[in-house]
Amino acid sequence: MSKFGLKQHISIAVAAFSLASSAFAATAYINQVGYRTTDPKEFTLFEGSGDVEIVDATGKSVLTVTPKAASEWKPSGQTVQLVDFSGLTVPGTYSIKQGGQVLRNDLKIADKPFEDVAKAALKWYYYQRASMPLEEQYAGQWARAAGHTNETVEFHKSAGTGTMTSSKGWYDAGDFGRYIVNSGITTYTLISLYEHFPDYFKTLKWNIPAEGNLPDLLAEIKWNLDWMLTMQAEDGMVYHKLTTLQFPGDIMPADDKAKLYVIGKGSAATLDFAGVMAAAYRVYKPFDEAYANKCLEAAKKAYAWGAANPNMIFNNPRDVGSGTYSDGKLDDEMMFARMELFISTGDESYKPTLNANETSIIPAWPEMYGLAVYGAASHPTEAGAEAATAKTMLTDIASEYAYIATKGFGVVMSSEDFVWGSNAVAGNQGVFLLHAYYVTGEQKYYEAAKKVLDYLLGKNPLDMSFVTGFGTKSPMLPHHRPSTADGVEPPVPGMLVGGPQPGGEDIGKDTWMCKDYRTGKTNATSYIDDRCSYATNEVAINWNAPLAYLAGALEALNAGYAPSFAADGVAKGGTSALRPFSSRTPVSTSKAVRLRFADQKVFIEKDGKRFDLKGIRIK
């Protein structure tokens, strides 16, 4: 018989239980880079119970929040709660506590949380430049010799005979190939970032050698446009790619001495090229009219060839093992080319008609329809009735997305979205949501787009930022040949890795392949930070583009810049803070008095308290 009475038994049991439960702390998944003072803010809580406390650097509790109702997120199989801590508006670093336990201490609030991410994501294109050395004054410890400097390249028999000249451009990914199709979506996304926020990008700089008087963003894009222009044949057709016959080993660009070939012809490359060059015409015109005209003429010639040869599908020749970017469905490339040419020329012969029932409109390298939707929505004067159709197409999908993003991990991603380059699927969903925001001014779209960045920067079940050099934990061994071969420990910064997906294409017995990293994992956690993993840990120009777009656009909007075509209400500070767009007021800081808008009401906020316009405290 125990020497303790019943009451003591119970209290010992309770103490033991709370000890046991405290050993299993909840997990808080956060955007590790930071949250904007004025933005709505949310993190994801797994296996939590009770309220959450936010504690400042002095140990003072500054906010207590009750997590939202739990819901399951299928891609990771976790049942999680979203925690809204928008009430935290003072810059600083905080801890998250629950049940007396510190869950993490790296929660950051800042005025411009994504500016450095935007600059680094854009600067990465400089690090990918072919045919020029990266000098230390720009590249720091990642300085390297020029690669692929011989301008004379040979035609593969799939493209012709003899030689031609071609140089410049961006290396596609972890490999050193240059591919027109993938340059299509990438270059267009970056051009549209400039076209939507020209005044913001006229001054934003990230230390690159920029040509002439061009803003950094346009200078960087031109490096690739110059290369693309070399890939057009006399008759207007555009070659598919410029690569070696096989992928190189883990070497620096300058050591890749294998012969370069111009490989393949096709409608996808030609029509993508046409759309990109037509868009380029508009943004370069104010700086260099001759160059702009050259782009437009190239676009017209490419389109003429594409219209006459709309179904020429590229497949890798038998002796070629470099990337394929082979696309068997080409009506979307045609729609993209027509839309951009129509916007730039007003010529009725290009006039496209959007199909409002088209559902494959989230852009991806083989899915260009969505870019035509963006083009129409963002050029209402030029696109006329197509702009209205585009707006409906955007809001139909975006309203569903905005709802989905209120559950689970707070992102749109579903189990099926975890394909090769899943992080870019997320990124493009975010860019899509921003376009819906521009044309409606509805805050829910801004918020859902912003939450995509939260996901990419750490609010995900792997508890890591997917961007090299950013966040508490980020990829260290990306599948990126220069980062592997340069002898520098940190990888080149600003790269978004492809991300989790269960395909396992890189798993195998060869020494250079990965061991199975999927055991016990789900779609959203099938990932390994190892250079072997080209299926989850590679980087690519088309993946960085939506990251750069999202981070850049969110900073531009919050600096007070709205796209010229945007609906009333856009860029009045993103979401909660109403700031007059025209006055370009800087983003307010810690102790500021803010005019805010929520639940259809305008109110004043000071020190976290709310007052009506007469100064009377409200709840």
Phi, psi of 479 (to 5 degrees): -80, 85
**452 burial level (CB within 10 Å; 0-12, 13-18, 19+):** buried
Judged by CB, which is closer to ligand 9MR: 274, or 425? 425
The verdict on whether 400 is a catalytic residue reads no
- Count of CB atoms within 10 A of residue 576's CB? 21
The verdict on whether 199 is a catalytic residue reads no
Q: Using an 8 Å Cβ cutoff, are 159 and 265 in contact?
A: yes
Per CB under 6 A, does 173 bind ligand 9MR? Answer: yes
For ligand 9MR, which residue has the nearest CB? Answer: 323
**61 burial level (CB within 10 Å; 0-12, 13-18, 19+):** exposed
Site string for ligand 9MR, 534-553 (x = CB under 6 A): x---x-x-------------
Output the smallest distance, CB 480 to ligand 9MR, in A.
Answer: 10
For residue 152, the number of C-alpha atoms closer than 13 Å in the C-beta half-sphere is: 3
Give the Cα separation of 265 and 365 in Å (integer).
Answer: 17
Output the smallest distance, CB 542 to ligand 9MR, in A.
Answer: 7
Give the Cα separation of 371 and 363 in Å (integer).
Answer: 6
Output the smallest distance, CB 586 to ligand 9MR, in A.
Answer: 39
| Interface pick for ligand 9MR out of 115, 116, 172, 272 (rule CB under 6 A) | 172
Q: What is the 3-state secondary structure (H, E, C) of 602-619?
A: EEEEECCEEECCCCCEEC
**Do the bridges between strand 35-36 and strand 101-110 make them parallel or antiparallel, or are there none, so unpaired?**
parallel
Retrieve residue 427's tokens. Answer: 């990124």
Give the Cα separation of 248 and 176 in Å (integer).
Answer: 8
Map the footprint of ligand 9MR across residues 85-144, applying CB under 6 A. none
The verdict on whether 506 is a catalytic residue reads no
Give the Cα separation of 220 and 225 in Å (integer).
Answer: 9
Give the Cα separation of 208 and 126 in Å (integer).
Answer: 7
**Do the bridges between strand 178-179 and strand 163-165 make them parallel or antiparallel, or are there none, so unpaired?**
unpaired
Map the footprint of ligand 9MR across residues 417-476, applying CB under 6 A. 420-421
Site string for ligand 9MR, 312-331 (x = CB under 6 A): -----------xxx------
Site string for ligand 9MR, 518-537 (x = CB under 6 A): ----------------x---
* Residues in binding contact with ligand 9MR, number by CB under 6 A: 12
Residue of 195, 256, 333, 538 with catalytic role: 538
Output the smallest distance, CB 367 to ligand 9MR, in A.
Answer: 10
Judged by CB, which is closer to ligand 9MR: 120, or 173? 173
Output the smallest distance, CB 479 to ligand 9MR, in A.
Answer: 8
The verdict on whether 417 is a catalytic residue reads no
Give the Cα separation of 195 and 173 in Å (integer).
Answer: 25
Output the smallest distance, CB 609 to ligand 9MR, in A.
Answer: 50
Judged by CB, which is closer to ligand 9MR: 90, or 485? 485
Judged by CB, which is closer to ligand 9MR: 173, or 218? 173
Retrieve residue 58's tokens. Answer: 């002095």
| Interface pick for ligand 9MR out of 53, 175, 333, 367 (rule CB under 6 A) | 175
Output the smallest distance, CB 57 to ligand 9MR, in A.
Answer: 41
Q: Using an 8 Å Cβ cutoff, are 577 and 594 in contact?
A: yes
Q: Using an 8 Å Cβ cutoff, are 187 and 223 in contact?
A: no
Judged by CB, which is closer to ligand 9MR: 364, or 604? 364
**290 burial level (CB within 10 Å; 0-12, 13-18, 19+):** exposed
Retrieve residue 525's tokens. Answer: 């956690």
Map the footprint of ligand 9MR across residues 542-601, applying CB under 6 A. none
Judged by CB, which is closer to ligand 9MR: 341, or 495? 495
Map the footprint of ligand 9MR across residues 402-421, applying CB under 6 A. 420-421
Q: What is the per-residue DSSP string for 132-168?
A: S-B-HHHHGGG-B-------EEEEPTTT-SSEEE---
Closest residue by Cα to residue 107 from 527, 457, 433: 457
Output the smallest distance, CB 615 to ligand 9MR, in A.
Answer: 56
Q: Using an 8 Å Cβ cutoff, are 498 and 535 in contact?
A: yes
Output the smallest distance, CB 58 to ligand 9MR, in A.
Answer: 46
Of 168-176, 284-292, 336-344, 445-453, the segment contacting ligand 9MR by CB under 6 A is 168-176
Retrieve residue 171's tokens. Answer: 């290396």
Judged by CB, which is closer to ligand 9MR: 324, or 588? 324
Residue of 175, 216, 333, 367 with catalytic role: 175
Q: What is the per-residue DSSP string for 2-20?
A: -SS-HHHHHHHHHHHHHHH
Residue of 479, 480, 555, 605 with catalytic role: 479
Judged by CB, which is closer to ligand 9MR: 220, or 538? 538
Tell me which residues are annotated as active site.
175, 479, 529, 538
Interface with ligand 9MR by CB under 6 A: which residues?
172-173, 175, 177, 323-325, 420-421, 534, 538, 540
